[in-house]
Amino acid sequence: MVTAAADQEKTGLGNYFIANYPPFSFWKNTYLPDAEAVLNSPPKPGVPLGLYLHIPFCRKRCKFCYFRVYTDKNARDIETYLDAIVKEVELLSRTACVGGRPLDYVYFGGGTPSYLSAAQLDGLMTRLRQILPWDQAREVTFECEPGTLQKHKLETLRAQGVTRLSLGVENFKPEILQYNGRAHLEEEIYRAFGWARDLGFPQINLDLIAGMVGEDWDNWKRCVAKTIELAPDCVTIYQMELPYNTVFSKELKMVGNDDPQLAVADWPTKRAWVRYAFDELGKAGYEVSSATTVVKNKASTQFVYREALWRGADMFGTGVASFGHVNGVHVQNVDTWEAYIEKLNAGELPLGRAFPTTERDRLIREVVLLLKTGHLDVDYFRQKYGVDVRDVFRGAFDQLRGEGWLTVAGENIDTTRDGLMQIDRHLPAFFDPQYISTRYT
């Protein structure tokens, strides 16, 4: 008999990881006037401003991917999109909420930003920097798919000020890469990594996924050993989830599927893989910096984008379907190509839906997201929100402490290692009741 607890440990369909609060399903287009109001108001003093650019092109669609990406666009479509995103940044740069702030962080995500040619990237970045310079930014991150890189493309990125290169490796085994629909080959990982190191990028992150279809213990151990051999500055390990609307979710009919060939490992196995990787990387000198990341040197290897965003910084999310946050209001752009291009051609910001947060929403958001780093500093919240989070969330902390997921010692709240490995499933304990048990997206 399959028990409820056993069912919970299976990798079923749906989004498991929590990236924001309140959940996206509560964002509405009826809140767009709130977004417009904050865009047209000066910023709060001391709040940093970031820029996210969504580059939605990929060579092929990975079978587990649910992002808004396109695999069928030609060179002219791409030019149209790049003109549109530059236009969007230009419109945003003229809003009052910029308030003379220089960019603190920039993030090129996707999709696959490295899908663009060196010439397209050079042109795009030159135009963007004329509008909103990033010379003073603490970090400029650029996501890459190893098979799309050439040395001259990396030289262009370096010359344009990219400081953090993030390589989507996911796995090293050719059969697993292929079965999961990844476009790159194992040898391309080594080639790309070597060039990136030679060019002296200040920080290189390598992404892995624990639990790709076809994964087993032997191969996972080899992946971890190869990662340690490459010695990136930062390693990010995601646990495979199976959101709705992916090739796998349709192909595998996961719920109730007992065919081991098609199964994604259950959650305890994926957690064991991440734990193993963290332990091995720990022996190689890495330190845990969140539920998904280890870094070579915690003091010098920062991830500004994550830190700023999780602590409530402003960020313009540009590109189709992008998410942003401005002065307490969550914003998401329209999520179709046609609507995005059309709005910008008409000279309008392509806003799709928004959510004006309350002070309490922002407090919960910050508690929830920072718990993913494994540590909360009670005084930080006292200084920022004027409350003691131990009192505000007493019930949730007591519950999680009782179950062994965290400890509260004086002003420090720390997750246990087991708690950190599965932190996302415990975060709804901090949600207000109306936001619990809803479909997340």
Cβ closest to ligand SF4, residue 212 vs residue 341:
212
Interaction residues for ligand SF4, span 362-421 (CB under 6 A): none
Number of neighbours of residue 393 by Cβ within 10 angstroms: 22
Contact between 379 and 372 (Cβ < 8 Å): no
**Does 17 help bind ligand SF4 (rule: CB under 6 A)?**
no
Lookup: tokens for 5: 């607890």
Number of residues counted as binding ligand SF4 (CB under 6 A): 11
Strand partners, 376: 413
Cβ closest to ligand SF4, residue 58 vs residue 369:
58
Cβ closest to ligand SF4, residue 62 vs residue 82:
62
Options 38, 39, 65, 144; binder of ligand SF4; rule CB under 6 A: 65
**Does 212 help bind ligand SF4 (rule: CB under 6 A)?**
no
Interaction residues for ligand SF4, span 141-160 (CB under 6 A): 145
CA-to-CA separations, 399 to 113, 172, 389, 421, 437, in angstroms, rounded: 42, 40, 14, 17, 18
Min CB(61)–ligand SF4 separation in Å: 5
Options 38, 53, 55, 69; binder of ligand SF4; rule CB under 6 A: 69
Strand partners, 407: 414
DSSP character for 90? H
Cβ closest to ligand SF4, residue 65 vs residue 121:
65
Cβ closest to ligand SF4, residue 69 vs residue 128:
69
Binding track, positions 94-133, relative to ligand SF4; x by CB under 6 A: ----------------xxx---------------------
Min CB(147)–ligand SF4 separation in Å: 10
Instruction: Give 106's contacts (C-beta < 8 A, 6+ positions apart).
Output: 50, 51, 52, 53, 134, 137, 139, 140, 141
Stretch that binds ligand SF4, among 10-18, 47-55, 56-64, 220-228 (CB under 6 A): 56-64
Min CB(246)–ligand SF4 separation in Å: 9
**Does 58 help bind ligand SF4 (rule: CB under 6 A)?**
yes
At CB < 8 A and 24+ separation, what contacts does 248-257 make?
A: 248/63, 248/64, 248/213, 249/13, 251/63, 252/213, 254/10, 254/11, 254/12, 254/13, 255/10, 255/12, 255/13
Min CB(336)–ligand SF4 separation in Å: 17
Min CB(65)–ligand SF4 separation in Å: 3
Element housing 223 (H / E) = helix 217-230
ω into residue 395 within 30 of 0, thus cis? Answer: no
Element housing 4 (H / E) = helix 4-9
Options 35, 38, 49, 62; binder of ligand SF4; rule CB under 6 A: 62
Min CB(218)–ligand SF4 separation in Å: 25
Cβ closest to ligand SF4, residue 81 vs residue 381:
81
**Which residues sit at the interface with ligand SF4, rule CB under 6 A?**
58, 61-62, 65, 67, 69, 110-112, 145, 168
